[in-house]
Each structure stands twice: as structure tokens, then as C-alpha cells.
Amino acid sequence: MTHGSRRNRPVAGWKFDNSYARLPEVLFVRLYPVPVPAPKVVVFNTPLARFLGLNPDAFEGDEGAAVFSGNRIPEGAEPLAQAYAGHQFGAFTMLGDGRAILLGEQVTPLGERYDIQLKGSGRTPFSRRGDGRAALGPMLREYIISEALHALGIPTTRSLAVAVTGEPVFRETALQGAVLTRTAASHIRVGTFEYAAMRGKPEELRNLADYTIRRHFPELAAAGNPYLGLLGAVMERQASLVARWLQVGFIHGVMNTDNMALSGETIDYGPCAFMDAYDPGTVFSSIDLHGRYAYERQPQIAHWNLARFAETLLPLINPNPPEAVAMATSAVSGFADAFRRHWLAGMRAKLGLVNQEADDRSLVEELLDCMHRHKADFTNTFRDLASGPPLEASLFQSPDFKHWFERWQARLKRQPETREEVGRRMNACNPAVIPRNHRVEEALAAAVERADYSVMEKLLGVLSRPYQEPPEESGYHLPPPPLVQPYRTFCGT
């Protein structure tokens, strides 16, 4: 690159303010990404870049390749790997960023703060036996599914770019290496608190808790017991988040405590996937042998994770241990109610119910049971109900469904909204398109095997407008053809 073209390069727009790097040093290790030989950006999220205050033109060619692979550290960044612990499938482990580097926090033109993290950026002191790297397929998969959740209006980390590294990673076979640039409200996890609590130094823990309150729940700072308030606020966000997942058929797949962000964002897109036919026991992850993280278990698991979070806060909640336990237990016991409230509100909306009746829960459950018995497509059933049921589908022909349908029609008559208004409201909250597994696989195969990113770009376009009917012939709304094998997902490590 000539000196002249460098000088003419547009200003990138980085505006880092790295508050995490000012926390006690035990919470992280400062280090740089490990350079890669031949980086190239293969996907770039222009709208997200603009939202962050970055100038997409500044990342054309070599500059974007260098920055989004970790070869060049942007001005103002203070790279570090975060320390954390976590319960993985119920067992406590010391973890930390084993293949990620936090560059710092970008302050957006709106004054909001977002972590910029490189995932797949090389070994760190937390890598254990891992290589610190990521394969292209799983990074593209995270890009697609996280952006789909964002477009559905569900809180989530997002994906700014994927760069290939020009270096293979070795899993069962040699795969192309890649780095994903992830943005997040923060990367503070339940596991971050587990790590701080385990060190047994109350001041470190208090420092982290005060920081989390300032960053995500500033209104709690003046509360009587801000740490009990923190527990309640995190619980409320998780209850809302998991309810939102269930309402679109999303299965996170690896809800370990290190994969639960206190901000309330969905984080860690490993084995996650969307369900097609409704079955509450659905599990996609190949390593989830006992269905710990099955679709319908997600609320219980969130509750279990929150109990682990509560345990870390005990010394801050009250200096008297039995009193602290009583206060935390009472707070966490509110999760089930909080979840049910969010879930019922969301399910009412999915069925176009604007007012509330005592029997609404049973109305929703009767429909779900019916869908389960008939293996009805979760997404399309609600969409079909909005426009009046198609007469040919087996679900809509069955006596149990007809019974439910009449009950629902009678229920709708007890609210003032017209049928058209109900249909309009339903279509605004029931997606027409989700990232169907077979379409995601098709996009990944084209990208990974043939370096053809057009299939993925088209899919991303449709997923960015999930409540809009896709062109009929595109087939994006269709469930998969009958599968020989059930769909399986892998952690991608």
C-alpha cells in the first residue's frame, strides 16, 4: 500500500473508552490477538458499523482484513482476555476467554457503549487445551443466527464481521480458520461473578457488582440494597429473554452459566437452532445427551443459573449469612412468576389477544398440545392463524384443532378489535421467516465449500425483515423436507 492511499483513507470512527480495563487486574489478562497469515473479510455488517459510528469505507480491503482478523489493533483499543468461571452442564469449571480478545468499548454516536470482541483470535492463558481458533462455518452460523434474533427484536450480541485467516484449524478434519467480530452490551456473565466470588476477596466482588450496576442498571445505584436489586433486575431480564426465545422456537442449546450475560442479551451461538415442528422436548445439540437444555427446560435452567448468580452475591446482600440466604432465596423464587408473566403476555400477543381473561393460559396450552400431537410447524401455525387457517393442512382438519379454533374465535369476540386488526397485530409479532436449519446449512455450504457468499447474503436479507412475507417462490417460509436423520448441532470448538 502506498503512503498516499493510506493518508487518504477515510477516518474509521473508532471511539474507545475501555472501562473494563480499569477494573481490578485479576478480572482479565492484557494481551494481543495472535496474528494470522492471510486475512480477508468475507462478511461485513454495514448497518451495524454505521450504528456503532464506524465508517464502512474505512474498512475496505487490507485495512478491514487487518482489523477484523486481529492483525492490526485500532487506535484506542486495549486488548484483553476476560477471566471467568462457570457451571457447564451443572459442573463448576474455571474458564475465561480461551479464544477471544476484547478490544474495548466503542462509544456510539448515541452515547451507548458496546464491547468489540474478536472471537477465534488465538491462544490466551485461558485456552487450556484449545487452539484459540475458530472455524469459518460456525462463525458464519453465529453471524446469521445472531443477526436473525436481532431482527426479531430479541436482545442479543451481534456480528460485525467475519474474516478468514488463511490458516487451517484442525478439528475432525482441517477447516478454514476465521475470526468473528462480535459486539455486545457487555461480556459480563454469571460466570464472571462466579469467578470473582470464588476468589474470596469481597472488595473485588463489590467492585465488579458496582461496575455492572453502573453499566447496565444505573437506576439501582441509589436503591436501598443495590445488590439485591441487581439480582432482581438480572432475573427480570432473563425471564423476559427466555420467554422471547420460546415464542420464536429458539433453543439456545448450551445455557451454561458462562453463557448467560447479565445484560440480558442472548450470547454464545454454538449449538443453538430454531425448531420446525413443535415438540417441547426438542434438543439439537449433539453433546446434550440428557436434554438438559431442551426447548421447554430453558426457563428452569435460567432459574437454576440465577440461583448460582444469587450465591455469588450473598456477602454483598447481607453481612449476616443466614439473612443473606433468606433474602436471595426469596428473590430468586420470584423467577417462575416473572417468567410466566412474560410468557403469557407474549403468547397473548401471538394469538391477537389484546385484553386479558383468566382462561388465556389454558387457551394457549390447548393449542400447543394440539400442535404437538399433530407435529405442526411452530412458526407457520401462528402465521396461518393470523390469516384464517388453510383448509388443507392436517392440523386444521382435526377435531381437536376445530374445537380449539372455536374456543379462540369466541374469545376474540370478547374484545373490541376487528378480525382484520387482530390479523394485523398477529403478523406484527409472529415471524414469517426464521433461520430454518436447512436454509442455514445451504448458505454455509455455499460459503465454506465454494466461497459463494451470495446464498448467505440473500438469506440475511430475508431474515432482516422477519415479519414480512417472503416471495412465495423463494421458499424461505417452508419447513424442511422430511429428514432422514434428526438435525444435529455441534459446539463448533
Q: What is the dihedral of CA 116, 120, 124, 128, to 10 degrees?
A: 130
493 binds, among ligand AMP, Mg ion, none (CB under 5 to 8 A by kind): ligand AMP
Task: Tell me the residue number closest to ligand AMP, measured at CB.
Answer: 130
Q: How far is the CB of 430 from ligand AMP (least distance, A)?
A: 31
Q: How far is the CB of 271 from ligand AMP (least distance, A)?
A: 9
Provide the residue type at 416 as one letter: P
Which 73-112 residues touch Mg ion, going by CB under 5 A?
none
Number of residues that bind ligand AMP (CB under 6 A): 18
259 binds Mg ion (CB under 5 A): yes
> Does the annotation count 360 as an active-site position?
no
Q: Is 104 left (phi over 0), alpha (psi -120 to 50) or beta?
A: left
**Phi then psi for 161, rounded to 5 degrees?**
-160, 155
The smaller minimum CB distance to ligand AMP, of residues 98 and 334, is found at 98
305 binds Mg ion (CB under 5 A): no
Question: How many Å separate Cα 446 from the centre of its chain?
Answer: 24
Which of 115, 258, 276, 377 is catalytic? The answer is 258
Contacts with ligand AMP, 258-297, as mask; x by CB under 6 A = xx--------x-x---------------------------
DSSP E strands in 252-320: the ranges are: 273-274
* Closest to Mg ion by CB, 95 or 426: 95
Q: Does 198 bind ligand AMP (CB under 6 A)?
A: no
Cell numbers linked to 437: 436449519
Q: Which is nearer to ligand AMP, 131 or 236 (CB)?
A: 131
Work out the number of other CB atoms within 10 angstroms of the CB of residue 80: 23
The three three-digit cell numbers of residue 86, written as one number: 462457570
Rule CB under 6 A: say whether 131 interacts with ligand AMP. yes
- Stretch touching ligand AMP by CB under 6 A, among 104-112, 125-133, 215-223, 453-461: 125-133
Is 474 near ligand AMP (CB under 6 A)? no
Q: Which of 132, 138, 299, 352 binds ligand AMP (CB under 6 A)?
A: 132
Q: Which is nearer to ligand AMP, 197 or 272 (CB)?
A: 272
Q: Alpha helices, DSSP H only, in 351-393?
A: 360-373, 378-386
d(CA 18, CA 103) in angstroms, rounded, equals: 8
Binder of ligand AMP out of 97, 194, 265, 377 (CB under 6 A): 97
Reduced DSSP (H G I as helix, E B as strand, rest coil) percent helix, strand, coil of the chain, to 5? 45, 15, 40
37 burial type by CB count under 10 A (0-12 exposed, 13-18 middle, 19+ buried): exposed
Residue 189 CB, nearest distance to Mg ion (Å)? Answer: 8
Residues 6+ apart with CB under 8 A from 261: 157, 184, 185, 186, 187, 188, 189, 267
Q: How many residues contact Mg ion, by CB under 5 A? A: 2
Using rule CB under 6 A, residue 96 touches ligand AMP: yes
**Cα–Cα dist 424/7, whole Å:** 53
Strand partners, 87: 92
Q: Which is nearer to ligand AMP, 289 or 484 (CB)?
A: 289
Residue 473: phi, psi to the nearest 5? -75, -15
Does 268 bind Mg ion (CB under 5 A)? Our answer is yes
Q: How far apart are CA 123 and CA 32, in angstroms?
A: 10
Residue 115 in the binding site for Mg ion (CB under 5 A): no
Which residues sit at the interface with ligand AMP, rule CB under 6 A?
95-99, 126-127, 130-133, 254, 258-259, 268, 270, 491, 493
Q: Which residues are designated catalytic?
A: 258
